């Protein structure tokens, strides 16, 4: 299902979001198959491998991913689930038209309880790779874990929301 555009109605965006949520397990199964794994461990090495695979895909196909692109959807889903594995949070659809993430799934309520409320949109990591960023995909995870002084082996949730 294609991600709604700026002129989409609220109902169309909500239908897209319901589709996205219902396909999380499918997309994670695709990530397991791509990595040749029985289970995902969301380790820093695994996150970087997902990033490398997406980088190779973008180079080969010369594409900018969108929701009709299965690799893009798998990448965004995996990244969001990995983020929540380490830093907590919940999926939500961005319905603020002025926001650059309008119509995309975002992660809210992440980080320790004292951390100021903010959201993160996994599609931004795909866009970084598509624009030629060479940093390891795990850099945002490692930066936040270091900021919160949490070991990347912890794998728990910061929040108990």
> pTM of the predicted model, to two decimals?
0.85
In a domain, 81, yes or no: yes
Domains identified in the chain, total number? 1
Per-residue pLDDT of the chain (161 residues; tens, 9 = 90+): 555 556 788 899 999 899 999 999 999 999 999 999 999 999 999 999 999 999 998 888 766 655 557 888 999 999 999 999 988 899 999 998 888 888 899 999 888 777 767 899 999 999 889 888 888 898 888 888 777 766 544 444 444 33
Does some domain include residue 138? yes
Cα Rg of the chain, angstroms:
15
Range of the domain at 123: 10-147
Per the domain annotation, does 5 fall within a domain? no
Question: Residue 100 has which token pair?
Answer: 């650059």
Distance CA 95, CA 90 (A): 15
Structure token pair of residue 149:
């002084």
The answer as to whether 156 is a domain residue is: no
- What pLDDT score does 153 carry? 45
């Amino acid at each position: 299902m294609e991600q709604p555009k700026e002129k989409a109605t609220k109902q169309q965006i909500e239908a897209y979001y319901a589709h996205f949520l219902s396909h999380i397990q499918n997309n994670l199964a695709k990530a397991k198959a791509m990595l040749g794994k029985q289970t995902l461990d969301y380790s820093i090495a695994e996150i970087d491998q997902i990033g490398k695979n997406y980088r190779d895909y973008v180079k080969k196909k010369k594409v900018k991913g969108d929701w009709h692109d299965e690799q893009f959807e798998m990448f965004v889903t995996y990244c969001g689930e990995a983020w929540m594995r380490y830093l907590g949070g919940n999926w939500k659809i961005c319905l603020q038209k002025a926001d650059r993430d309008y119509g995309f799934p975002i992660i809210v309520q992440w980080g320790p309880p004292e951390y100021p409320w903010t959201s993160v949109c996994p599609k931004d990591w795909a866009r970084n790779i598509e624009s030629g960023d060479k940093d390891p995909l795990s850099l945002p995870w490692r930066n936040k874990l270091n900021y919160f002084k949490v070991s990347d082996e912890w794998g728990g949730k910061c929040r108990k929301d």
